[in-house]
Amino acid sequence: METTINGTKLVLKIGDITEEDTQAIVNAANSTLMGGGGVDGAIHSKGGPAILEECKKIRQTTYPDGLPTGEAVITTGGNLKAEYVIHTVGPVCHGRFTENHEKLLYNAYYNSLKVAKENGIKTVAFPSISTGAYRCPLDLSARTAMMAVIDFIKNENYITEVRFVLFTDSIYYYYEEALKEILNEA
């Protein structure tokens, strides 16, 4: 599915985010920035050690206690097609979705796009943050993701394409439903 909002292309697709050719891809990291499973593991393994090296530097300088949930930082994309990786940390939900989870997840998407803009990046791909190991419910997470991205696109006329790269048909379905619902409400 594809639509254009305020001049920015918003694309939903099924795929593996490590294969994307956007200028930046977003990593669903944890606050240590030292890697892990899921998208994080796939990005570090395909992108190579240069990514971890830069993450270590960020931990030694800006974020010695770890990257707070909802914030975002940028590193090289190493061997990936994408030039950059933007690392963000979504909330840990354990199947629940409180107002605080919603706010933190919203911030993770919004701040990732802010970091992209600050670095002159115009095309960004997102995975479905927090809906794997962190177990946030897909329906509400998809809606929050869409709200954050659409708010950013409306507020800041800079990014030309935001792409959601969703790992399975069923995850895609939730994002498509959320986007359709929001477009109908507008």
Binding site residues, ligand AR6, CB under 6 A: 16-18, 28-30, 36-40, 42, 90, 127-134, 165, 167, 171
- Minimum distance, C-beta of residue 45 to ligand AR6, in the bound complex (Å): 10
CB distance 29 to 117 below 8 Å? no
Residue 67 in tokens: 């990257």
Q: Which is nearer to ligand AR6, 7 or 37 (CB)?
A: 37
| Set 16, 21, 40, 151: catalytic member | 40
Least CB distance to ligand AR6 at residue 157 (A) = 28
Nearest distance from residue 23's CB to ligand AR6, in Å? 17
Alpha helices of the chain — where are they, by DSSP H? 38-47, 49-60, 99-118, 138-155, 169-185
Nearer to ligand AR6, 11 or 133 (CB): 133
Q: In whole angstroms, how close is the CB of 28 to ligand AR6 at the nearest point?
A: 3
Confirm whether 151 is a catalytic residue: no
Residue the block writes with tokens 């892990």: 36
In the complex with ligand AR6, which residue's Cβ is closer, 11 or 42? 42
CB of 174 to ligand AR6, least distance (A): 10
96 vs 154 by CB, closer to ligand AR6: 96
Nearest CA-CA partner of 114 in 124, 129, 99: 124
Query: Exposed, middle or buried by CB within 10 Å (0-12, 13-18, 19+), for 49?
Result: exposed
What does each C-alpha distance from 158 to 60, 104, 113 come to in angstroms? 31, 23, 10
- Cβ-contact 148, 185 below 8 angstroms: no
* 2 vs 16 by CB, closer to ligand AR6: 16
Residue 29: both structure tokens together: 């990291």
Q: How far apart are CA 133 and CA 128, in angstroms?
A: 11
Catalytic positions, written as ranges: 40
